[in-house]
């Protein structure tokens, strides 16, 4: 049983911290972060990918900054809701009693991810009514952004498997087609680098997604 599964087996409360130091957290994007070595995907929201732009606005970077600010602003409690099959724990998290997912959606920096949960539909409606953040215009949704990047990369990748498994000083890192470093990453199979057909396959082989902050 791996470390994440051992944690899941112990308690429904994944983390209850009295304080979060910068050294203990790594932000992946506006809805995913690493805390104490465990990758957490916030339940019920989908934020722009790091590297995604909304017109001239770097919405992906702003979403990442907002999540980092929330995580570092006080004690964090995360409730385990299960494993998503990509090496991430799905969790509902709060900081000083404030629901982090709701805060991201209400500030217009994430969408309610109704494909998996309707928890934040009402929060999203209020943000849309206010016309803030992502609701200033009809920007491309993160799931459509990922699908578009995937479809394009899939046509050029060997055997239609577009995820790049790179080996660097930071370890074995995989880059999905929406990664801002995707086009710059070259695969050298002689070094042990390889292509993957899915994120789940990459995670199972020991690769991890990049951390941007």
Measuring CA to CA, how many Å separate 100 from each of 58, 105, 138, 175?
21, 9, 24, 26
Check if the beta carbon of residue 26 is closer than 8 Å to that of residue 15.
Answer: no
| Res. 64: pLDDT tops 70 | yes
**CATH 2.40.50.90-classified regions of the chain:** 3-138
C-alpha–C-alpha distance, residues 9 and 2, integer Å = 11
Q: Is the pLDDT of residue 20 over 60?
A: no
State the average pLDDT over residues 65-92: 90
Question: Measuring CA to CA, which residue among 127, 148, 136 is closest to residue 52?
Answer: 148
User: d(Cα 37, Cα 89) in Å, to the nearest integer?
Assistant: 11
Contact 92, 99 (CB under 8 A): yes
**Domain 3-138 listed as CATH 2.102.10.10:** no
Give the global pTM. 0.86
Q: What is the pLDDT of residues 30-42, one digit of tens each?
A: 999 988 888 899 9
Q: State pLDDT tens for residues 117-131.
A: 999 999 999 999 999
Q: Is the pLDDT of residue 11 over 90?
A: no
Residue tagged 């999203």 (tokens): 124
């Amino acid at each position: 049983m791996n470390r994440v599964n051992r944690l899941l087996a112990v308690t429904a409360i994944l983390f209850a911290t009295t304080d979060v130091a910068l050294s203990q957290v790594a932000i992946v994007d506006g809805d995913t972060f690493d805390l104490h070595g465990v990758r957490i995907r916030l339940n019920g929201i989908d934020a722009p990918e790091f590297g995604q732009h909304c017109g001239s606005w770097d919405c992906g970077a702003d979403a990442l900054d907002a999540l980092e600010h929330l995580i570092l602003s006080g004690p964090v409690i995360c409730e385990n809701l299960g494993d998503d099959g990509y090496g991430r724990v799905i969790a509902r998290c709060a900081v000083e009693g404030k629901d982090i997912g709701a805060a991201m959606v209400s500030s217009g920096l994430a969408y309610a991810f109704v494909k998996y949960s309707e928890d934040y539909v009402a929060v999203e409606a209020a943000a849309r009514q206010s016309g803030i953040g992502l609701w200033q215009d009809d920007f491309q949704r993160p799931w459509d952004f990922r699908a578009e990047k995937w479809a394009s990369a899939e046509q050029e990748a060997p055997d239609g498997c577009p995820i790049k498994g790179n080996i660097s000083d930071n370890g074995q890192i995989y880059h999905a087609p929406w990664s801002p470093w995707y086009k710059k990453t070259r695969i050298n199979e002689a070094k042990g680098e390889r292509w993957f057909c899915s994120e789940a396959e990459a995670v199972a082989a020991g690769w991890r997604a990049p951390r941007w902050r």
